[in-house]
């Protein structure tokens, strides 16, 4: 995505009154250019985590309206809840998603903070990347003393707000606004009601650790096991359990599955059991894919399974569905941002796809079918890799086959994407031809659009050819070294891959005829001819191996 997108995840100090929460989220949805992704209320914490995304200007406008409405409908003088808090809008972070730097995102956070302070009269503290003072970057340090202690704290010179009045408004409290990396809010469930024991686990794992006395009786800090982790223990009356409440501030340093497993180890050492976990807000897709692979690796099983299976395994292994159903399509940020119209063909079942192909519509055509053939070819080889990985007599070779299967899954997914991409490319050409051509300027614009669309319609099948050629490596490896009972499947995979390459070649050739740039056309055709020749050779080599293996077994 080239468009500048930022995510905003404000936390509002209201989790029990749906009407008030709706009033706040209505303000967000009233702004054009933003998309509300998630609303996650907690009764025990009396706090709602809201997630929305959009272009920067629209996001800070939506955030401003939400902060204003929260100040109107939430009265902090009557607020109680398990989570630390200091204001009606307790914290409002901005997170860069795409097309924008952290520095630029921080500038937008400052712009929002200044407006909230000046126009709403709410004290604003900047944090993380938006804060230049190292002593005031950490959210927990800023929030220290919480709502009740801030009437005095705000009067201290070192705690003068960055924006707004230095008087603490009793009704709205203060708010913290900043720019940060993607944070995962994650709670681990324990089979105890003891907050003290939950805190003990939290202190074991969190980076800040705990205070202990050394051999001289001096108080020192003993760091916890995990970096980029904040954690506390609390009791959730709604569920009747204690939890370790965790903020993972950099999941590339400490991923979800690592935090979970460290909680399991710590809990076990203290006679406790981890029974599951809970995700608050959204999570990146890769975090769950990594978790799924982590647990498969622990079982010494192939990680080359589908995206859906990796997610299912992650959810079950982490116990994310213990307290409530876990819907990946509502909790994974990429799924919420995905435009399902772009995946129309891949979402069809086999009969629907065949019917659509056979209909009077010119798309899907040969290009989409070629891409699908390629995906089937590499899928067969991936199947052989997974069967081989799980074969008892080859236990010591499971990692070898797992790596092949993982590569196969990546190629399969890339080729499946091309099924719809080829149809989009065709539609783009048709749309270009339908552009107006009344004036000279319109004619030029139409010609340029047609040529641009034609290039795209060549490059898509050319990519199908390359991906399908890449799949011959795994197909050949499985024909040579995979489960001998499945060698015929590898052979069929080679036939599919070769057909995919030749089919896509026909698309490259017919679309190249409409390209006016002769040099570019010749380059495209040269590349396509080379890939076609390579596919023919690779298919013949693999079929010889298949025939030889089958003859050995007969």
Map out the domains of the chain with their CATH numbers.
Answer: 5-179 (3.30.990.10), 184-337 (3.30.70.670), 344-553 (1.20.120.680)
Tokens representing 435 are 């552009």
Confidence of residue 554 (pLDDT cuts 50, 70, 90): low
- Region 462-479: what's the mean pLDDT? 97
Catalytic: which of 40, 261, 422, 489? Answer: 422
| Alpha-carbon gap, residue 517 to 512, rounded angstroms | 9
Q: Which residues of 124-154 are buried (b: 16+ CB within 10 A; e: fewer)?
A: bbbbbbbbeeeebbebeebbeeebeebeebb
The stretch 128-135 carries a mean pLDDT of 95
Q: Residue 314: which pLDDT band, with cuts at 50, 70 and 90?
A: very high
Whether the Cβ atoms of residue 187 and residue 244 lie closer than 8 Å to each other:
yes
The predicted-structure confidence for 490-533, as pLDDT tens digits, reads as follows 999 999 999 999 999 999 999 999 999 999 999 999 999 999 99
**Measured between alpha carbons, how far apart are the two ends of the chain, in Å?**
54
Mean pLDDT of the 301-327 span = 96
Note if 321 is an active site residue: no
Name the packing angle between helices 56-73 and 18-29 (round to 10°): 150
Distance CA 214, CA 222 (A): 10
Whose tokens are 């010179």? That residue is: 157
| pLDDT > 60? residue 77 | yes
C-alpha of 140 from chain center = 26
- Residue 1 is predicted with a pLDDT of 40
pLDDT at residue 87 tops 60: yes
CB-CB contact of 105 with 140 (8 Å): no
| Lowest-confidence pick of 180-189, 329-338, 377-386 | 329-338
pLDDT attached to residue 273 = 98
Measured distance CA(320)–CA(81) in Å, rounded: 23
Per-residue pLDDT for 153 more than 80?
yes
Please tell me the distance from the alpha carbon of residue 201 to that of residue 315, in angstroms, as a whole number.
22
**Is residue 533 helix, strand or coil?**
helix
**Peptide bond preceding 63 in cis form (omega within 30 of 0):** no
Please indicate whether residue 79 is annotated as part of the active site: no
> Which 3 state secondary structure label does DSSP give 240?
coil
Averaged pLDDT score across all residues of the chain:
94
Considering only CA atoms, give the Rg of the chain. Answer: 29
3-state secondary structure of 275: strand
H or E segment at 96?
strand 89-98
C-alpha span between 406 and 79 (Å, rounded): 50
pLDDT in tens, 406-464: 999 999 999 999 999 999 999 999 999 999 999 999 999 999 999 999 999 999 999 99
Q: How far apart are CA 75 and CA 20, in angstroms?
A: 11
pLDDT digits (tens, 9 = 90+) for 325-341: 999 999 998 888 777 67
Please write down the HEC assignment for all residues of 414-483.
HHHHHHHHHHHHHHHHHHHHCCCCCCHHHHHHHHHHHHHHHHHHHHHHHHHHHHHHHHHHHHHHHHHHCC
Residue 158, pLDDT above cutoff 70: yes
Which DSSP helix (H) or strand (E) runs through 78?
Answer: none
Gap between the Cα atoms of 522 and 518, Å rounded: 6
- Which residue reads 């079982």 in tokens? 299
Task: Give per-residue pLDDT as tens, 9-50.
Answer: 999 999 999 999 999 999 999 999 899 999 999 888 899 999
- What residues have CB less than 8 Å from 259, skipping those under 6 apart? 186, 188, 205, 226, 229, 246, 248
3-state secondary structure (DSSP) of residue 307 = helix
pLDDT of amino acid 342? 74
Using a pLDDT cut of 90, give the percent of the chain over it.
Answer: 84
Q: Which residue has the tokens 């079929």?
A: 543
Rounded CA separation 204/190 (Å):
15
How far, in Å, CA of 229 to CA of 183, rounded? 10
- Active-site residue, from 83, 129, 162, 257: 83
Q: What are the CA-CA distances from residue 258 to residues 242, 252, 290, 294 (Å)?
A: 20, 11, 10, 9
Q: How far apart are CA 163 and CA 146, in angstroms?
A: 18
Q: What are 492's two structure tokens?
A: 């069929």
Contact status, residue 244 vs residue 278, Cβ threshold 8 Å: no
The partner residues of 211 in beta bridges, in order of sequence, read 221
Q: Which residue in the block uniquely carries the two structure tokens 């692979």?
A: 293
Per-residue pLDDT band for 173 (boundaries 50, 70, 90) equals very high
Q: What percent of the chain has pLDDT over 70?
A: 98
């Amino acid at each position: 995505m080239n468009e500048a997108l930022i995510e905003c995840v404000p936390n509002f100090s209201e989790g029990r009154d749906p009407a008030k929460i709706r009033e706040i989220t209505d303000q967000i949805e009233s702004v054009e250019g933003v998309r509300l992704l998630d609303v996650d209320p907690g009764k025990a914490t009396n706090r709602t985590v809201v997630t929305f995304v959009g272009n920067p200007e629209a996001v800070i406008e939506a955030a401003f309206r939400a902060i204003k409405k929260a100040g109107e409908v939430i009265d902090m003088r009557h607020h109680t809840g398990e989570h630390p808090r200091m204001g009606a809008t307790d914290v409002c972070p901005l997170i860069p998603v795409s097309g924008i730097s952290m520095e630029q995102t921080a500038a937008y956070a400052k712009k929002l903070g200044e407006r909230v302070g000046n126009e709403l009269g709410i004290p604003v503290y900047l944090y993380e990347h938006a804060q230049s003072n190292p002593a005031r970057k950490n959210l927990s340090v800023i929030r220290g003393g919480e709502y009740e202690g801030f009437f005095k704290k705000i009067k201290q010179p070192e705690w003068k707000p960055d924006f707004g009045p230095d008087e603490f408004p009793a009704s709205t409290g203060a708010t913290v606004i900043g720019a940060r990396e993607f944070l995962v809010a994650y709670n681990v469930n324990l089979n105890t009601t003891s907050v003290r024991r939950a805190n003990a686990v939290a202190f074991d794992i969190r980076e800040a650790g705990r205070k202990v006395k050394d051999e001289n009786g001096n108080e020192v800090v003993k760091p916890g096991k995990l970096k980029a982790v904040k954690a506390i223990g609390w009791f959730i009356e709604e569920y009747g359990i204690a939890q370790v409440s965790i903020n993972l501030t950099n999941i590339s340093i400490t991923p979800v599955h690592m935090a979970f497993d460290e909680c399991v180890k710590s809990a076990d050492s203290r006679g406790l059991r981890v029974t599951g976990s809970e995700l608050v807000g959204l999570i990146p897709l890769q975090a769950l894919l990594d978790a799924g692979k982590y647990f498969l690796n622990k079982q010494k099983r192939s990680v080359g399974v589908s995206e859906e299976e990796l997610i299912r395994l992650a959810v079950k292994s982490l116990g994310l569905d213990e307290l409530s159903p876990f819907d990946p399509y509502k909790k994974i940020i990429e799924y919420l941002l995905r435009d399902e119209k772009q995946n129309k063909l891949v979402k069809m079942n086999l009969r629907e796809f065949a019917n659509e192909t056979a209909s009077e519509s010119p798309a899907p055509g040969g290009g989409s079918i070629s891409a699908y053939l390629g995906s089937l070819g590499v899928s067969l080889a991936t199947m052989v890799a997974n069967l081989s990985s799980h074969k008892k007599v080859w236990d010591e070779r499971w990692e070898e086959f797992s790596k092949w299967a993982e590569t196969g899954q990546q190629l399969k997914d890339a080729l499946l994407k091309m099924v719809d991409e080829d149809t989009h490319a065709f539609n783009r050409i048709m749309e270009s031809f339908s552009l107006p051509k009344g004036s000279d300027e319109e004619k030029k614009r139409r010609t340029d659009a047609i040529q641009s669309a034609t290039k795209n319609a060549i490059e898509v099948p050319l990519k199908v050819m390359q991906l399908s050629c890449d799949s011959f490596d795994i197909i050949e490896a499985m024909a040579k070294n995979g489960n001998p009972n499945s060698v015929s499947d590898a052979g069929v995979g080679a036939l599919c891959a070769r057909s995919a390459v030749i089919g896509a070649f026909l698309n490259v050739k017919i679309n190249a005829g409409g390209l006016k740039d002769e040099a570019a056309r010749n380059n495209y055709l040269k590349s396509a001819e080379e890939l076609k020749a390579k596919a023919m050779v690779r298919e013949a080599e693999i079929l010889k191996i298949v025939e030889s293996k089958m003859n050995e077994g007969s």
